[in-house]
């Protein structure tokens, strides 16, 4: 009976490792091409908005009802400020 328990625990640990290995990489992404933060041309603004929306999507599951953040938010997501210099 004890042997079966050990086999079961070993199998569940192996499946847990497989799930963790297949999980997507961290949401902290870096663009291949850096963005000139001072530029506000159409292409740069489009990239700034895209980066901002991706950041918001990453942080969404970490928001609590009272407005606070759950642990792990800043470890897994990059905080991108609202690109006020770019029109929508």
SS3 of 31-86: the string is: CCCCCCCCCCCHHHHHHHHHHHHHHHHHHHHHECCCCCECCCHHHHCCCCCCCCCC
User: For the residues 35-43, what does the mean pLDDT come to?
Assistant: 85
Closest CA to 75 of 56, 52, 54, 59: 59
Position 18 confidence tier, pLDDT thresholds 50, 70, 90: very low
23 inside domain:
no
75 inside domain:
yes
Q: Show the domain range for 70.
A: 42-88
- Summarised one tens digit per residue, pLDDT across range 6-17 is 566 565 545 444
57 inside domain:
yes
Structure tokens belonging to residue 63: 């928001």
Q: What is the mean pLDDT of the chain?
A: 77
Distances (CA, A) of 58 to 10, 11, 34, 85: 33, 32, 20, 22
């Amino acid at each position: 009976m004890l042997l079966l328990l050990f086999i079961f625990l070993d199998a569940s640990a192996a499946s847990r490792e497989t799930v963790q290995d297949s999980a997507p990489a961290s949401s902290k992404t870096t663009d291949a091409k850096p963005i000139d933060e001072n530029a506000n041309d159409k292409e740069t603004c489009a990239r700034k908005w895209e980066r901002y929306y991706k950041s918001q999507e990453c942080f969404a599951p970490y928001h609590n009802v009272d407005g606070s953040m759950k642990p792990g938010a800043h470890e897994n997501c990059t905080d991108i400020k609202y690109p006020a210099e770019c029109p929508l």
